[in-house]
A and B are shown apart, each in its own frame.
Chain A
Amino acid sequence: MISESETDPSEVMCLSKILIELKGISKTYDNTPVIDELDLSIRENEFVTLLGPSGCGKTTILRIIGGFETPDKGSVYFDGVDITKLPPNKRQLNTVFQKYSLFTHMTVADNIAFGLRIRKKSDSYIKDKIKYALDLVNLPGYGDRYPDSLSGGQQQRIAIARAIVNEPKVLLLDEPLGALDLKLRQEMQYELIRLKNELGITFIYVTHDQEEALTMSDTIVVMNQGYIQQAGTPESIYNEPINAFVADFIGESNIYDGIMVRDRLVNIGGLDFECVDEGFGEGEPVDVVIRPEDVELGDPASGHTTGTVTSIIFKGVHYEIQVESAIGITFMVQTTQNFPVGSYVGINIIPDNFQIMHKPRSEAEEILNINDYQS
């Protein structure tokens, strides 16, 4: 299923050692299981994003790594040492909280110095570190201000500065950009990538924003209902989603019911399409994902099938077009060409751009652990 042109993400990362390892983690709140038997390894100097809809357990995992929650079952290893029962103040990692969580009764400088003073650093060291951290987050000279006098973006940068002065091995970030507006969020994304490259520390980032995840991560871990759905590089997750959930969550997708005719041939809406996937049973019902940018519109005569444009929206970089096809399915298409509503068009999709996935055999299987798919 994974095409050979893509590099396997685990091969890239195997140079650095595993820093954090979760083994068989389960957590239940009020008799509702949030995480069930979860395994996850995070390597040194990796930017890992836990991505999923709200309630998928991503924040719980972060809180378990941070020490704010204790798992009901399973263990957390840090650099090979079991830290499951270690309180947060004894862990070599720092957290940037969703709501910034600055100490409102202290100046920005005192906020940043908080961790350093606890570790009894010298005054001159602390002074240098405050200046270094404020420069790093582009807020020099803000040391004497109080957090309340800063904007949301500035407060968040102070929260990051407060965490990184302690030189943690791992920085945990819980939707840190969620409260910021789009422009500021994009700026902060670049700033975080820059910080990660400059500091060489491991980032574990939690978000429900797929674009944020694709922009910043080395590895994306897609989660749903407490289970890891897929883990891999942004490219592999986007191009080779393992199931319909991942395909739907990462980017916009056309997802269709199909039947595998034989290897390299799939039937959608009664029409056979050539694809590159093998190893499915003949006649097996499958989910077929086609990215909107992979649907080509053109002359009806040269189309594999045809259709009529029912709507067109200008999105800036491209047009988003709905095409009602002759085989009874609707394609969402992204293209830079303009096809007016009512146009009769030909539709072509090259075999590489069909992503064929096993259908879950039951409702429950849809949320099963990634390992169950592989076995």
Chain B
Amino acid sequence: MSRKKVQVLSIPYILWVIGFTVIPLLFVFAKASTNAEGDLTLEYLLAIFDPVHRKALLLSIALAFTTSLICVVISYPVALILKTSKFKNTKIIMFVMILPMWMNFILRILAIQLLISKNGVINHLLSMLNLPSLNIINTPAAIVVGMVYDYLPYMLLPVLNCVLAIPDDIIEAGKDLGAGRLRVFTRILLPLSLSGIGSGITMVFVPSMTEFVIANILGGGKIQLLGNVIEQEFSVSMNWNLGSGLSVALMVFVLITTFLFGHDSSGSNRNFVL
């Protein structure tokens, strides 16, 4: 196929991006940099530094960071175990991991709510065993539980792919040159897994940063993440200018973190992700 014909094939995608990404974003930027009267102002773009908004942003960052970290801590050992085990049918494992994603997202979060609520399944079991009850519903911890449950596959898949792709002979070469288990892990396995962990963090951190539905359901509407603030500005306060200003600020933070995690610390840029 000629180059021109190939370019023709990209037209639907380009139209899609223009119609549903570029133009709406321009509207957001326009709203964010003007006030209700339509005059140019920086007020809404800088509104992120208001104490209330700053607090929401910091909480969003903290919860997103915690969620990403927990996802790494859960995923990486699974990947290592699968790599070293004799059970080579990783497709089945991946299938099991992805299975929850086949259910509706809201349903999954409502199920978590049922599990961890004050009179929920877990507390029922704990009281039957005469153990102290679990009181995390309507706290940031509950939101983290929900986000980890929801976003774990996005960490697991890139980490698993990356770790399984590390050739066994490179690990053997490390042992051959005198490295024990710990050194093989820190000097070879971990550095070679960074690209997978990096893309996993990007794919977990970004949606966690902008999350508001999980916070609404599991936080009981009491915990304000930046996503909740923005949602309320649009749907409750009807202050679209402030909502847009905060959205742009959030986008900037997301871009910064993506850039930070996207770079492989080894210095070579072959592992640049996203």
Q: Which residues of A line the B interface, CB within 8 A? A: 66-68, 87-89, 94-95, 97-99, 101-106, 114-115, 118-119, 146, 148, 162-163, 166
Q: Report whether B176 and A94 are in contact in the complex, using a CB–CB cutoff of 8 Å.
A: yes
Q: Report whether B175 and A89 are in contact in the complex, using a CB–CB cutoff of 8 Å.
A: yes
Which of the four size classes fits the interface of chain B? 20 to 34
Q: Report whether A146 and B268 are in contact in the complex, using a CB–CB cutoff of 8 Å.
A: yes
Tell whether A162 pairs with B172 under 8 Å between CB atoms, given A103-B188, A105-B192: no
Q: How far is the CB of B228 from chain A (nearest CB, A)?
A: 41
A146 to B180 Cα, complex, angstroms: 24
Q: What are 25 A-B pairs at a CB distance below 8 A?
A: A66-B176, A88-B176, A89-B175, A94-B176, A94-B177, A95-B172, A95-B176, A101-B167, A101-B170, A101-B172, A102-B173, A103-B188, A103-B192, A104-B170, A104-B270, A105-B191, A105-B266, A114-B177, A114-B179, A115-B178, A118-B178, A118-B179, A118-B183, A148-B270, A162-B177
Cβ-closest chain A residue relative to B188: A103
Q: Report whether B167 and A89 are in contact in the complex, using a CB–CB cutoff of 8 Å.
A: no
Q: Report whether A99 and B167 are in contact in the complex, using a CB–CB cutoff of 8 Å.
A: yes
Question: Hey, what's the 0/1 contact readout for B173-209 against A, CB within 8 Å counting as 1?
Answer: 1111111100100011001100000000000000000
Q: How far is the CB of A129 from chain B (nearest CB, A)?
A: 13
Interface residues of B in 136-195 (CB under 8 A from A): 167, 169-170, 172-180, 183, 187-188, 191-192
Q: How far is the CB of A99 from chain B (nearest CB, A)?
A: 6
Q: How far is the CB of B194 from chain A (nearest CB, A)?
A: 8
Please name all residues of chain A whose beta carbon is closer than 8 Å to the beta carbon of B187 when the two chains form the complex: 114
Please name all residues of chain B whose beta carbon is closer than 8 Å to the beta carbon of A114 when the two chains form the complex: 174, 177, 179, 187
Q: Which residues of B line the A interface, CB within 8 A? A: 167, 169-170, 172-180, 183, 187-188, 191-192, 264, 266, 268, 270
Please name all residues of chain A whose beta carbon is closer than 8 Å to the beta carbon of B180 when the two chains form the complex: 87, 89
Q: How far is the CB of B177 from chain A (nearest CB, A)?
A: 4
Tell whether A101 pairs with B192 under 8 Å between CB atoms, given A115-B178, A118-B183: no
A162 to B174 Cα, complex, angstroms: 11
The DSSP consensus for interface residues of chain A is: loop
Q: How far is the CB of A7 from chain B (nearest CB, A)?
A: 36
Q: How far is the CB of B83 from chain A (nearest CB, A)?
A: 16
A60 to B264 Cα, complex, angstroms: 36
Q: Report whether B178 and A101 are in contact in the complex, using a CB–CB cutoff of 8 Å.
A: no
Q: How far is the CB of B89 from chain A (nearest CB, A)?
A: 16
Q: Report whether B177 and A166 are in contact in the complex, using a CB–CB cutoff of 8 Å.
A: yes
Q: Which of B169, B178, B188, B268 contacts A97 (CB 8 A)?
A: B169
Q: Report whether B178 and A166 are in contact in the complex, using a CB–CB cutoff of 8 Å.
A: yes
Q: Report whether A95 and B192 are in contact in the complex, using a CB–CB cutoff of 8 Å.
A: no
Q: How far is the CB of B263 from chain A (nearest CB, A)?
A: 13
Please name all residues of chain B whose beta carbon is closer than 8 Å to the beta carbon of A66 when the two chains form the complex: 172, 176
